[in-house]
């Protein structure tokens, strides 16, 4: 993953580098570092383990200055998070920062070791620095050196390089990992994403795969991998600097959980009429395209994948369209059969998830009717590559644990399912679904009142080692999402299961120390879920039932019932996920974990 930021300016760039890097910390926060070219044309490197704020403290103590520099925030892939593995990596006259994975690093390393190069880190990235030094000895010019080094690399990379003989240049290259060049009057910047650039400039050029550029102040020369110059006009971003604060909440996750009602109200205002969905909400002429769809293939990762699983239930219930939902890291490598008139849908909060991007690229060269993306970040790679796109309007999601993006994806997917149902002549359901979505803000108000119950429940969970979440139908993906949230931020092992699967194996785990949560909206599956939960009770499991069905417990029954507000059938997943988010949040509070930046994770997963 990792975030890259670089700057060349007429002034010292240290402040720019720290500002840019802070906006990229969602891509990794294992270590941070930067290299500057000083006025004496020397490379000065400053690195630390931990976060950008630690690097900032080191810089305050340092007297080093430079008008050209590169910086990096790391998510460890090769080599543990420590100082020696922090970027930049130096070799001779070069300093480099890398995002991606060099697949042939071991092979390159052994040949460089034979040539006498000394490695000081366990990273795959350090080979790039030594490779450059080795190539500059054979090549006369910088461009030739870069091209021959890049030619030897296998894998994915976004690279920013400084070279002490060219103190006014940053060299950048990209293959499979994003890198953008931002151009302003007095400075040029390079960054892993547009957020890190918008406060500096609106004009930018995204590097495409197998391209490189030599960047100087106010100038960019683009090359293809053969070293031929390419010319491409800069794009102008419509994004504004969205620096967000916690607005009085203790954590971003808490703020983002509580924003969900307002986001849904905004979608209602912008996308719904009184009884119908407004035309073409999935992009110009999308309604006509969607009319012809006979199959849907969803591809996504993590929470976004869980959202797609719910859409599968909705679409097949509401129409005669066949639907699959698949994890992107599986989809990208397997053989796919694509029936005619299939819609490919990529779902991603960030729009930068590597596996989803690769899947989308594969889909683009396959026989799909159209490529649609549901994303939260405008101008992201996934949005740029799609034929049609829907922006979730959830606002920037900072917390690594996705909450508001999930419910925003669900709303988009419920709208998509409803539009797709039109081709099966099920127009009558549209008014009902619009009505149910309209009822959501009030129902969510009632749902948020469960926070105190979730605090009490969290206290009972905080010392547990394992937890099961069970659901049937569209509540099954909510069980998966609940388990993902809990393990992600509280580090308690949690699994989500289709309730009917329990007796096929996981029931063996249940004992008096195992909390088992049943998600049971009042629908045609209640009796089945209750039977599965009785199986748990018979093994002394601690059962918690979330339901809006009236239930009476027998005397001595230790089951805890959490009374949910009544809600329509289609919107139940959006309602039932809220207490799951609050539960994880409060367990994590008790466990004093780093809620917004949990260990080992990053917000945007830009490596495969």
Closest by Cα among 247, 246, 242, 251 to 596: 251
Q: Counting contacts by CB under 6 A, is residue 304 touching ligand M6R? A: yes
Q: Counting contacts by CB under 6 A, is residue 402 touching ligand M6R? A: yes
Q: Where does 447-537 show beta strands of DSSP type E?
A: 466-471, 493-498, 515-520
Map the footprint of ligand M6R across residues 6-65, applying CB under 6 A.
Answer: none
Closest by Cα among 378, 453, 400, 394 to 252: 400
Q: Counting contacts by CB under 6 A, is residue 525 touching ligand M6R? A: no
Among 90, 356, 447, 547, binds ligand M6R (CB under 6 A): 356
Q: Counting contacts by CB under 6 A, is residue 490 touching ligand M6R? A: no
Other beta carbons within 10 angstroms of residue 463's beta carbon come to: 11
Q: Quick check: is 2 catalytic?
A: yes
Q: Which is nearer to ligand M6R, 139 or 324 (CB)?
A: 324
Q: Counting contacts by CB under 6 A, is residue 400 touching ligand M6R? A: yes
- Please pick, among 255, 261, 487, 603, the residue that the annotation labels catalytic: 603
Helical H segments across 472-525, by residue range: 475-490
Question: CB 467 → ligand M6R: shortest distance, Å?
Answer: 16
Q: Counting contacts by CB under 6 A, is residue 353 touching ligand M6R? A: yes
Instruction: Please give the Cα distance from 119 to 350 (Å, whole number).
Output: 35
Q: Which stretch binds ligand M6R (CB under 6 A): 85-93, 111-119, 343-351, 577-585?
A: 343-351
Q: In what order do the strands lie in the sheet with 187-191?
A: 43-49, 31-37, 68-74, 3-9, 187-191, 180-183, 203-206, 235-236
User: Residues binding ligand M6R: what is the number (CB under 6 A)?
Assistant: 16
Question: CB 490 → ligand M6R: shortest distance, Å?
Answer: 12
Instruction: Please give the Cα distance from 503 to 538 (Å, whole number).
Output: 12
* Neighbouring C-alpha atoms within 13 Å toward the C-beta of 313: 17
Q: Counting contacts by CB under 6 A, is residue 307 touching ligand M6R? A: no
Instruction: Please give the Cα distance from 62 to 46 (Å, whole number).
Output: 9
Q: Counting contacts by CB under 6 A, is residue 350 touching ligand M6R? A: yes
Among 237, 303, 389, 467, binds ligand M6R (CB under 6 A): 303
Q: Which is nearer to ligand M6R, 49 or 308 (CB)?
A: 308
Map the footprint of ligand M6R across residues 447-486, applying CB under 6 A.
Answer: 484
Cβ–Cβ under 8 Å, residues 311 and 374? no
Q: Quick check: is 323 catalytic?
A: no
Phi then psi for residue 544, to 5 deg, are -120, 125
Cβ–Cβ under 8 Å, residues 101 and 178? no
Q: Counting contacts by CB under 6 A, is residue 580 touching ligand M6R? A: no
Q: Counting contacts by CB under 6 A, is residue 488 touching ligand M6R? A: yes
- H/E segment holding residue 411: helix 404-421
Among 136, 213, 401, 440, binds ligand M6R (CB under 6 A): 401
Q: Counting contacts by CB under 6 A, is residue 408 touching ligand M6R? A: no
Q: Which is nearer to ligand M6R, 454 or 520 (CB)?
A: 454
Catalytic amino acids?
2, 603
Residues that bind ligand M6R (CB under 6 A): 301-304, 348-350, 353, 356, 400-402, 484, 488, 604-605
């Amino acid at each position: 993953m990792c975030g890259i930021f670089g700057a060349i300016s007429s002034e010292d760039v240290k402040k720019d580098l720290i500002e840019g890097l802070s906006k990229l910390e969602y891509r990794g926060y294992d270590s941070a570092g930067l290299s500057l070219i000083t006025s004496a044309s020397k490379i000065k490197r400053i690195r630390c383990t931990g976060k950008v704020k630690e690097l900032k403290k080191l810089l305050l103590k340092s007297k080093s200055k430079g008008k050209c520099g590169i910086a990096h925030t790391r998510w460890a892939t090769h080599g543990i998070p420590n100082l020696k593995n922090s970027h930049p990596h130096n070799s001779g006259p070069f300093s480099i920062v890398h995002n991606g994975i060099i697949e042939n690093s071991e092979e390159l390393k052994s040949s460089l070791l034979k040539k006498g190069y000394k490695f000081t880190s366990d990273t795959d990235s350090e080979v790039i620095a030594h490779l450059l030094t080795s190539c500059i000895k054979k090549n006369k010019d910088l461009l030739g050196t870069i091209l021959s080094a890049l030619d030897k690399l296998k894998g994915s990379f976004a690279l920013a390089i400084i070279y002490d003989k060219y103190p006014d240049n940053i060299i950048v290259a990209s293959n499979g990992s994003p890198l953008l060049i931002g151009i302003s009057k007095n400075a040029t910047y390079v960054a892993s994403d547009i957020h890190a650039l918008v406060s500096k400039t609106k004009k930018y050029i995204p590097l495409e795969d197998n391209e490189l550029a030599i960047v100087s102040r106010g100038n960019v020369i683009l090359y293809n991998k053969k070293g031929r110059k390419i010319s491409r006009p800069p794009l102008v971003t419509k994004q504004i600097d969205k620096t967000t604060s916690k607005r009085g909440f203790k954590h971003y996750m808490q703020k983002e959980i509580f924003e969900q009602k307002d986001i849904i109200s905004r979608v209602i205002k912008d996308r719904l009429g009184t009884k119908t969905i407004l035309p073409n909400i999935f992009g110009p002429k999308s309604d006509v395209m969607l009319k012809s769809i006979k199959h849907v293939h969803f591809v996504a990762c993590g929470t976004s994948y869980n959202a797609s699983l719910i859409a599968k239930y909705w679409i097949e219930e509401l129409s005669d369209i066949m639907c699959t939902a698949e994890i992107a890291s599986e989809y990208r490598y397997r053989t796919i059969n694509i029936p005619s008139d299939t819609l490919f849908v990529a779902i991603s909060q960030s729009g930068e998830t590597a596996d989803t991007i690769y899947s989308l690229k594969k889909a683009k060269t396959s026989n799909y009717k159209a490529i649609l993306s549901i994303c939260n970040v405008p101008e992201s790679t996934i949005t740029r590559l799609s034929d049609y796109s829907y922006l979730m309007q959830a606002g920037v999601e900072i917390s690594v644990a996705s909450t508001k993006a999930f419910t925003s994806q669900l709303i988009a997917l419920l709208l998509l399912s409803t539009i797709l149902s039109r081709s099966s002549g099920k127009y009558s359901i549209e008014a009902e679904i619009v009505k149910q979505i309209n009822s959501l803000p009030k129902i969510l108000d009632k749902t948020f009142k469960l926070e105190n119950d979730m605090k009490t429940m969290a206290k009972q969970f905080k010392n547990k080692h394992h937890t099961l979440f069970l659901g049937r139908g569209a509540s099954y993906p909510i069980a998966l999402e609940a388990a993902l949230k809990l393990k992600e931020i509280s580090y308690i092992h949690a699994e989500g299961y289709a309730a009917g699967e329990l007796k096929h194996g996981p029931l063996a785990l249940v004992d008096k120390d195992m909390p088992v949560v049943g998600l049971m909206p009042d629908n045609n599956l209640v009796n089945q879920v209750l039977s599965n939960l009785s199986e748990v009770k018979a093994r002394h499991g601690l059962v918690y039932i979330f339901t809006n069905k009236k239930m009476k417990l027998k005397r001595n029954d230790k089951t805890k019932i959490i009374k949910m507000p009544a809600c329509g059938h289609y919107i139940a997943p959006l309602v039932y996920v809220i207490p799951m988010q609050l539960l994880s949040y409060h367990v994590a509070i008790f466990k004093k974990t780093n809620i917004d930046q949990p260990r080992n994770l990053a917000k945007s997963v830009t490596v495969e």
